Amino acid sequence: MTSLPYIEGMSGNSVERPQWESGNASTRFPFADDTVIDGYPFDAVVDACVVVPSELAPASERVYVGCLHISRHMVSVMVYSGRRPILACSATRQSMEPFSPVRMEPVDKTCSGFISFGDIRFDDFSTPVTRREAAYLSESAVVRPVVGRLRRFVQPGRNEEAKGIVGIIVPDGVGMSLHEDGDSSLVSFTMSDDARDSVTIWCDPTKPSPGSPYPVKSINGVHPDSLGRIAIVFARDASEVPK
């Protein structure tokens, strides 16, 4: 099967590269074909799915099991992306069910994933074994979504800060919905493929046009955090706006 080319210009919550079951050609799946380590207990991990988001540029760091520990009583793994630990998982002999997916705990909160342990013969590990070699995972077991990130706000005008009552206006082709859950609300944005180019031009400060918005970095002095997140309080009507 011919692999699909990289898709340029993808934004929002989208998958960087398509994943196909037929792309699983690894003989030691979920490990990569070039992962050859003498004496490594490859059958201890029989399946995995690791989600490593990236921002704007495609991720290039390889994902691997950097620590695998097995004793008579438990098994544990630590998964890395590049040099940073991202996920960890441990299971006791009594609680572990072979070949069943177990949710890994995030060390990096942006990452997530599942792992399945094999039918480990715990009695063979009266002496605990810890392997710290980089056992690389197959790319078929890694999902690399390109996650949209809030970088700038826009307002009509040239000021660098939006003040007072701030409204959210979305261009044609962009949908916005508000879902309330108790005391919290979740705002979701959707964008059609046809609107992608026009939205990019509409938000481009290098191509100003009459009435077009300009980027601002904060709202009432509040800036997004390092991940581009900000909390916004919505009022149902003008009477609820704080004076």
Q: Count the helices and strands in the chain (H runs, E runs).
A: 1, 18
Residue 101 confidence class, pLDDT cut points 50, 70, 90: very high
d(CA 9, CA 148): 12
Q: What is the pLDDT of residues 77-96, one digit of tens each?
A: 999 999 999 999 999 999 99
Single pTM value for the model: 0.57
Q: How many CB atoms lie within 10 A of CB 34?
A: 8
Q: What is the pLDDT of residues 22-69, one digit of tens each?
A: 444 446 889 998 888 999 999 999 999 999 987 656 667 899 999 999
Q: What is the pLDDT of residues 108-163, one digit of tens each?
A: 988 999 999 999 999 999 999 999 999 999 999 999 887 766 666 665 555 566 66
